[in-house]
Amino acid sequence: MLHFLKAFLDIVLWRRGPQDLPASRLLLWLTAAAYVVVSIVQLTLLEEPAAAWLVFVVLDPVLLTAGVYLLLKLFGKTDRFLQTATAVLGTGVVLGLCMFLPAQWLLTAAGVPPESKVAGSIALGMVVIFALVTGRILKLSTETTLFTGVTLSLTYFLLINLLLHFASGGGG
């Protein structure tokens, strides 16, 4: 498993791409499970309400994986699904373990509220990193531009946050 964590780290650092991963259903399932575990740890650390748990533990991995499949279908590249979905989820695990969780822990330990400008600035920086990493994976998998990949990545980010808003009782 450490071999795959290194591969995911290399994808985060733009040294490798999804094409460097094996097309393995087992690896996809294991990576999805790790992605859910990291989400659970994040939600626990932030003491998030039940709606956030529904969105990030259930809907996020399902919609993210389905979105990758539909995107690849649109571009006629469904043969790349296992590698692309594994790369997106695996880099999410690495970013969660190496960046999101430590930042959350440090902010919580320092008593910085989530609504603060500091927390907001850090969150914005993490969104940019997520968009660039996921955008590059999508660029490589669809053979488009980085702009297209980042745009698709940010579209997903906005969608999942809109779902969180509605699941939390936000009206429209």
* Number of compact structural domains in the chain: 1
> Between residues 125 and 2, which one has the greater pLDDT?
125
Burial class of 41 by CB neighbour count within 10 A (0 to 12, 13 to 18, 19+): middle
**In-domain check, residue 68:** yes
**What's the mean per-residue pLDDT of the chain?**
93
Whether 130 shows a pLDDT value over 80: the answer reads yes
19 alpha-carbon distance from chain centroid: 18
Task: Kindly report the pTM of this predicted structure.
Answer: 0.93
**In-domain check, residue 172:** no
**Which residues have a Cβ under 8 Å from the Cβ of 139 and sit 6 or more positions away?**
145, 146, 148, 149
115 band by pLDDT with thresholds 50, 70 and 90: confident
The count of other CB atoms within 10 Å of the CB of residue 106 is 11
Beta strands in 40-127 (DSSP E): none
Tens of pLDDT, residue by residue over 11-41, are: 999 999 999 999 999 999 999 999 999 999 9
What would the mean pLDDT of 46-59 be, rounded to a whole number?
Answer: 87
Kindly state the percentage of the chain with pLDDT values over 90: 78
Q: What is the pLDDT of residue 170?
A: 72
**In-domain check, residue 50:** yes
Residues in the chain: 172
Domain of residue 146, residue span = 2-167
What would the mean pLDDT of 84-100 be, rounded to a whole number?
Answer: 96
**Which residues have a Cβ under 8 Å from the Cβ of 158 and sit 6 or more positions away?**
none
